[in-house]
Structure 1
Amino acid sequence: MLFFGKKILIGAAVLATLGTFVFGRDVVSYMKTAGNSVREAVKSEVPVDFEVERARKMVEDLVPDIRRCMHVIAEQQVDVETLQQEMHDSELAMKQQKEAMFTLRSDLESNDTEFVYASRTYSKDDIRNDLAQRFDRFKVASETLKRNQQILKAREKALDANREKLENMLSSKMDLEVQIEQLEARLKSVQAAETVSNLQIDNSQLTRAKGLIRDLNKQLDVKEKLLDAEGKFTGLIPVDTKVEEKRDVVKQMDEYFKLKSGDKVVAQ
């Protein structure tokens, strides 16, 4: 294998050297043009029905991409719904905390020194410390909610974009399938027309056939003439037929020599 690879490299180098010697600096241009010509020649020899089938296969190959896009959309939908639920729960908790904070604040501003919550007694310092912690947590939760709202908008935007992408892919796939069906219909029509146009008749064979038919017509004409002529002599009354009379040589001689009946004929 290594030896074979070396032979290919050496052959390519020899061809490049010869090409440079013949074409000079334009060898690259000539090689590119020749390569393009070869590709176009090979492509022109590929049957159209094969190319149509290849186009159909390319459209079918879109299915995995469509399914991947659908999977991504499903994951994004789950993420969006989960974040929406988390934000909803967070908003409810923050609402409860806000109500609790304002209750503690109201108690802190009162003149009372002790407060009872859930059967336990708390001082103003306890209320103040608890309110401070609640307030700090509320601010963190509020900032987290704001960030989650931004994240949710971004995810919803990405989800909408992927949905639009999926719709375009499905629509494009359907359009391509229709176009391929139309191509196949046109191909069948063209193939039918080609089949008719390729039915070429041999001119010499056509000429011989015409000549044979002409000769047969002539032969039939002759036969008809013969039958017609024979019909005139067979089975008909011979009205026009005359019997040839016997020649009267003596009479003819008498008339010629002006002889009368009883004259003695003497040769002079």
Structure 2
Amino acid sequence: MLKKTLIGAAVMLALGTFVFGRDVFSYATTWGGTVRNAVKSEVPLEFEIERARTEVENLVPDIRDMMHVIASAQVDIDHKSKEVDRKTGALDSKKKAILALRNDLDTGRSEFVYAKHSYSADDVRKDLEKRFKLYKVAENSLESDAQILKAWQRTMTANQEKLDAMLTAKQDLELQIEQLGARLRTVEAAEATATLDFDDSKLARAKKLILELNKQLDVRERQANLEGQVNGLIPVEDSSEPTESSITNRIDDYFGPRKSLADSDGSVADSGK
């Protein structure tokens, strides 16, 4: 399977070299970058923000390891500091004993008594020589321990500063991620408001319906008026049209007061007789 894969890759490389020539690697790199950018642009921002939050959370194991190293260093420093203090006290005691023997020898006596035992001046001198050698060995050991203690303290201080910087950076990144989330929610809210389309078709239909109803009522009113004329009703509502009463009054005004039938020679109907 691996052999077939290698052969296929070699064939594709040879074909690409034949088509594009020396620029095959440039084409491949550009194509790869384009595909990568296209895929990345399709990833939702919510996912990217969550991915950033995961990356920050991945710092926690390293931070805990650093805390463990610092805690162990603190314990070692405490123990070493106590050891240095103990050795310092013991070295001071050795120094006092050496100086005491040194002072005794300066007295010029030939015999000395210590803890109820007698020692010659030569014994004291030999013991002083031995004590002085042991003192210098203890002094060198103390100096070495003191240097080790200082080195440990410097290392712990540097690690503590790194830890503090890491914690500060983590908190800052967490704050930035929260700000990104807030900005994203603000942008989404703005986009939702900007893309809110009001469907005014319902409003148009309501207006059209009201207009149609008004037209129908106008038609019915006009039709009712026309039906009244067809039925022979007197349009008493329209006072501008002349009526029978008004025409008789105008005739009386023109010919004089009307005479009764008894006083007249006859009616128009009788005049033909």
Question: Under a length normalisation based on structure 1, what TM-score does the superposition of the two structures give?
Answer: 0.80
2:81 equivalent in structure 1: 84
Equivalent position to 1:107, from 104, 112, 135: 104
1:256 equivalent in structure 2: none
**Alignment coverage as a number of residue pairs:** 238
How far apart, CA to CA, are the structure 1 residues paired with 2:194 and 2:3? Answer: 52
1:201 Cα deviation (Å)? 6.5
1:216 Cα deviation (Å)? 2.1
Equivalent position to 2:146, from 142, 145, 149: 149
Tell me which amino acid in the other structure corresponds to 2:63. I
2:9 equivalent in structure 1: 12
Shift in alpha-carbon separation, 1:108–1:211, aligned structure 2, 3 A: closer
1:1-150 matched pairs, under 5 angstroms: 2=1, 5-150=2-147
Identity of aligned residues (%): 50
Shift in alpha-carbon separation, 1:14–1:210, aligned structure 2, 3 A: farther
Shift in alpha-carbon separation, 1:237–1:113, aligned structure 2, 3 A: farther
1:105 Cα deviation (Å)? 0.7
The alignment status of 1:224 with 2:217, answered yes or no, reads: yes
2:163 equivalent in structure 1: 166
How far apart, CA to CA, are the structure 1 residues paired with 2:3 and 2:207? Answer: 73
SS in 2 for 1:181: helix
Tell me which amino acid in the other structure corresponds to 2:216. K
How far apart, CA to CA, are the structure 2 residues paired with 1:83 and 1:214? Answer: 93
1:199 Cα deviation (Å)? 4.2
Give the gaps of 5 or more residues in structure 1. 245-260, 263-268
SS in 1 for 2:141: helix
How far apart, CA to CA, are the structure 2 residues paired with 1:198 and 1:130? Answer: 100
SS in 2 for 1:238: coil
How far apart, CA to CA, are the structure 2 residues paired with 1:111 and 1:213? Answer: 132
SS in 1 for 2:159: helix
SS in 2 for 1:177: helix
How far apart, CA to CA, are the structure 2 residues paired with 1:75 and 1:53? Answer: 34
SS in 1 for 2:67: helix
**57-66 or 214-223: which moved more?**
214-223
Tell me which amino acid in the other structure corresponds to 1:218. L
Name the Cα RMSD after superposition: 2.6
How far apart, CA to CA, are the structure 2 residues paired with 1:38 and 1:10? Answer: 25
The alignment status of 1:184 with 2:201, answered yes or no, reads: no
Question: Under a length normalisation based on structure 2, what TM-score does the superposition of the two structures give?
Answer: 0.78
SS in 2 for 1:122: strand
Deviations 1:191-240 (A, max 9, x none): 223334444568xxx6x657644542431221231244356576x96225
How far apart, CA to CA, are the structure 2 residues paired with 1:198 and 1:15? Answer: 47
